Amino acid sequence: MARRYDPDRRRRIIDAAIRVVAERGIAGLSHRTVAAEADVPLGSTTYHFRTLDELLVAALRQANEGFATAVRDCVRLDDPDADLAVELARLMGEWLTGDRARAELEYELYLAALRRPALRPVAAEWTDSVAELLARHTDPVTARGLVAVMDGICLQSLLTGGAYDEGYARDLLGRLLG
C-alpha cells in the first residue's frame, strides 16, 4: 500500500492536541485522543511526537503565538509618541475579552510547565520574545517587568473570572514605566 502524502498532518495533530486540551484539560491528552480528534491513525501521532511532552511543547509553541503576535503587529507601538502603558493595557484587554476560552487554554498550556520540565524552555521563549519586543520601547529590565506585570494581571483576571480592568492595568503599567 502506498503512503499517502499529507504535508499538513503534523499541524493537524498539533491543532487537535490544542482542541483536546481545551475540551478535556491536559489530563485528557493522550496520543489516542489526539489521533481520534485529528482523524489520523494512532501511529501518526507517535511518529510525529514520540512523547506527550513533545506534543505539548509543539502545542504550547503554537498557542504562544497569539499575544506575542499582537504585540509585534501593533502599529501603534511603532509610533514614538505612543503611550506604552495605554497600548499594552488595550492589547491585554483585546486578548482577554476577544476569546477568553483561547486565553484560558494558552495559560493552561503555559502553566503546565510547572509540572512538565520539557515545557519550561517554551514558556521562557514566550516571555523572552515579548520582553524583546518591548525592549524596543524601553530598557530590557523594564521590558521584563512589563511582561511579569501583564502576565500577573492576565492570570488574575482569568483565575478570578473577574472582568478585565483596563484602567487598573494602564495605571499599573504606567507606574512601572515611570
DSSP 104-147: HHHHHHHHGGGT-GGGHHHHHHHHHHHHHHHTTTS-HHHHHHHH
Of all residues in the chain, the percent with pLDDT exceeding 90 is 54
Topology given in CATH for the domain delimited by 9-61: Arc Repressor Mutant, subunit A (1.10.10)
Rounded distance between C-alpha atoms, residue 9 and residue 72, angstroms: 28
How far apart are alpha carbons 62 and 77 in whole angstroms?
A: 24
- pLDDT tens digit sequence for 33-66: 999 999 999 999 999 999 999 999 998 888 877 7
H helical segments located in the chain: 9-24, 31-38, 42-48, 52-63, 65-73, 84-98, 100-111, 120-134, 140-160, 166-177
Write out pLDDT tens, residues 129-169: 889 989 988 999 999 999 999 999 999 999 998 889 999 99
Beta-carbon contacts of 71 under 8 Å, excluding residues fewer than 6 positions away, are: 77, 88, 91, 130, 133, 134
Cβ-contact 133, 65 below 8 angstroms: no
Q: What is the pLDDT of residue 11?
A: 92
Q: What topology is assigned to 64-177 in CATH?
A: Tetracycline Repressor; domain 2 (1.10.357)
What is the residue-averaged pLDDT of the chain?
89
Q: How confident is the model at residue 106 (pLDDT cuts 50, 70, 90)?
A: confident
Does 32 have pLDDT greater than 60? yes
- Please report where in the chains the cell 512538565 appears, as a residue: 116
In the chain, where are the structural domains located? 9-61, 64-177
- pLDDT interval class at 76 (50, 70, 90): confident
* pLDDT reported for residue 1: 46
Give the model's pLDDT for residue 2: 47
What phi, psi does 70 have (nearest 5°)?
A: -60, -40
Which residues have CB under 8 Å from 148's CB, separation 6+?
none
pTM of the model: 0.81
- CA-nearest of 10, 13, 28, 9 to 105 is 28
